[in-house]
Structure 1
Amino acid sequence: MQGMMKGAMLPGNSTTVLKDFPIPQPGHGEVLIKMKSSTICGSDIRCIYHEHLGKGPEGYQPGMIAGHEPCGQIVECGPGCRRFNNGDRVIIYHISGCGVCNDCRRGYMISCTSEKYRRAYGWQRDGGMAEYLLAEEKDLVFLPDELTYSDGAQVACGFGTVYEGLEKIGLCGNDAVLITGLGPVGLATAMLCKAMGATKIIGIEAIPERIKIAQDLKMFDAVLAAGADNVKQVKKMTGGMGVEKSVDCSANDKARLTCIQAARKWGKIVFIGEGGTVAFQPSPDIIHDQKTIYGSWVTNIWRMEELVERLVRWNIHPEQLITHRFPLDKVADAYSLMASGKCGKVAVCFDEELK
């Protein structure tokens, strides 16, 4: 396919730049994908939009097309493709790894150890904020007809990341769950916890607009405003015991401490929100109550495929969390709104996904 396309770059000064790029041509083992939906992740705002925080090979490379939550339809396959074909609907696992290091062989391309070959879409190689995306076939996950492209875009990062964290703490129908930080990742956590059978879901959030969004979705048993009494409030709702599982999606130090202290004895805590700090007292907060803290970063590609299958089985749609959709020519408004924090998920959509 010949011609030019529009794509969005992030200069790092809280603005976007929309410019023309040549439509890329797929080489061996590559496919050209027509973008249908590309959602904005909080890490795009934190690490790229305001300022290019990451340096070196893992940082955003200026001039790259942004967007690491892409989903679309294959329009051209290069030679050597083995599984996917023209017309297939696909999600793109957003890190392209070397494929041969230990982490890649486990499916965790996010943790690829190759300084030369690890390249994340939207960071070190062109991403989904464009009309077309060039991807490697090995990075694709099939999107079934039961799910929309906007469902798939969120699986590419947010929902996949949450699912990995919940699998680590072993969420099941016995559990009361606390979720701190009710942005898109926190809301995704609630949606998956509900589908996986959690008996009580409690959320904590500081931004009034996000509290209202969470309440309107009706996935929580209670949504609390962030404050000094949160641990007491959570324990009161759980018979004085605390929750079996807690998930921090905020990266806020006080919220993380709440997750630790509001968990009951033998409780499991997972930190998903990136950045920030936390201070706690190891003996009373963790050791004496036999608690466990997990860290979780993105997911592996086979688990992403498993999540897609289960979304269909559970009949849930991540696109329910999208509060605003923009066309590509309004991409500046999309990033500005997401940066404000006064919204749910924000998507840049094409064709039927704009409706």
Structure 2
Amino acid sequence: MVASTGDTGHALAGNQAMMEGAVLPGNSTVAFRKQPVPQPGHGQVLLRMKASSICGSDIRAIYREHLGKGEEAALDIIAGHEPSGQVARLGPGVKRLKVGDRVAVYHISGCNACEDCRMGYMISCTTKEHRAGHGWQRDGGHAEFMLADEPTCILLPDELSYVDGALCACGFGTAWEILNRMKVGGGDRMLVTGLGPVGLATAMLARALGASKVIGTDISEARRELALKLELVDVALPADDSALSQIKQLTNGRGCEAAIDCSGVASARLLALRGTRQWGRCGFIGEGNDIHINVSPDLIHPQITIYGAWVTSLAHMEQLLEQLARWKLHPEKIVTHRFTLKETGEAYRLAAEGQCGKVVVVLD
């Protein structure tokens, strides 16, 4: 297909059209820079950004301080690895997409040759020089436009909004991956430790998959109240020394058939494991601290199976979007705050406080 010269707005007019984007210099700050609107290369599309949500990984590893080395979390990269938008221009060789298409974006590109890439798990591409994440090693969604590789763009079902799409690659995608890997369904009582955005996503999808009861825990009263208000959990417990006994009381002394830690906090991971019933399944998706367990009483004797998941695959993300449309379920439900691009600094400040639901930069 020949590259299109058509566009979806006046900002693309002329070869020197400029755009604004937000970068994360570290030290809990946000800066802005202007740069030319990029031109799509072979197999790429230029997206007009519509929504770009903030992930806890952005807060932990870039906003507060740059934890990566060299190309990891580069200082001058436009932030945002949870983007969705509308195709504004096609590069040469684009075969599937057309100008005007609404898309969500799988936020990692890889070598497309290693085993993980061939399975659609570009998140764990083994060829480091080819692995590039939006907002980390390549420009992300906190800008008026963003370049994306055509294979990483998934058409948004008409029933889903741009904000729905932005939430699906990382947060909801990770929750979807582990819930399916653990085969959560109607016979399961579900424990979710950590009721931040990923925990809320996990609870929402667990309910959709048929979990008979969802119990959530968090140290934040505001987040417990939000989970109850959104009707994503049946019970929301403070993550304190009494949490385990209360979980046992709610499950006839047995614990939950399935438990997932979404916080990455060592005490919450241990609570998830010890709140899992005998022969149950426990999953970890929250990045963070180590955990010390007494292997025999905590794991071997109760014969618990442990799962880990790190984002989802391209194919599973597409499956998730289709299923959300079928269920008439909207990830947008967990969004508590929306900001314009110029308000990105306030968006990050609020998200970093850890007391709210999902925070989204909306560009439409």
Identity level (%): 53
Q: Which amino acid aligns with 2:197?
A: P
Provide runs of 4+ in structure 1 moved above 2 Å: none
Q: 1:147-168: per-residue Cα shift (whole Å, max 9, x none)?
A: 0000000002100011001111
CA contact (8 A) 2:19 2:34 kept: yes
Q: Which amino acid aligns with 1:336?
A: R
| Structure 1 residue 303 corresponds to structure 2 residue 316 | yes
- Aligned match of 1:26: 40
Q: 1:49-74: per-residue Cα shift (whole Å, max 9, x none)?
A: 000012244x2011000000000000
Unaligned runs of 5+ residues in structure 2 are: 1-11
| Structure 1 residue 159 corresponds to structure 2 residue 172 | yes
Name which of 250, 253, 266 aligns with 2:279. 266
Q: 1:100 and 1:56 mapped to 2: Cα distance?
A: 24
- Aligned match of 1:244: 257
- Aligned match of 2:5: none
| Structure 1 residue 315 corresponds to structure 2 residue 328 | yes
- Aligned match of 2:197: 184
| Structure 1 residue 47 corresponds to structure 2 residue 61 | yes
Q: 1:56 and 1:303 mapped to 2: Cα distance?
A: 31
Name which of 345, 353, 361 aligns with 1:332. 345
Matching of residues 277-288 of structure 1 within 5 Å = 277-288=290-301
- Aligned match of 2:305: 292
Matching of residues 55-204 of structure 1 within 5 Å = 55-57=69-71, 59-204=72-217
- Aligned match of 1:255: 268
Paired residue secondary structure (2:248) = helix
Q: 1:115 and 1:244 mapped to 2: Cα distance?
A: 38
CA contact (8 A) 2:223 2:356 kept: yes
Give the Å deviation of 1:221: 1.0
- Aligned match of 2:19: 5
Paired residue secondary structure (1:163) = helix
Q: 1:329 and 1:319 mapped to 2: Cα distance?
A: 21
Q: 1:283-311: per-residue Cα shift (whole Å, max 9, x none)?
A: 01100111011111001000000000100
Q: 1:344 and 1:246 mapped to 2: Cα distance?
A: 21
CA contact (8 A) 2:169 2:311 kept: no
Q: 1:200 and 1:211 mapped to 2: Cα distance?
A: 16
CA contact (8 A) 2:169 2:312 kept: no
Q: Which amino acid aligns with 1:29?
A: G
Give the Å deviation of 1:218: 1.4
Further displaced range: 227-236 or 120-129: 227-236
Give the Å deviation of 1:232: 1.0
TM superposition score normalised by structure 1: 0.97
Q: Which amino acid aligns with 2:170?
A: C
Q: 2:231 and 2:40 mapped to 1: Cα distance?
A: 44
Q: Which amino acid aligns with 1:179?
A: V
Q: 1:17 and 1:128 mapped to 2: Cα distance?
A: 14
Give the Å deviation of 1:119: 0.5
- Aligned match of 1:345: 358
TM superposition score normalised by structure 2: 0.95
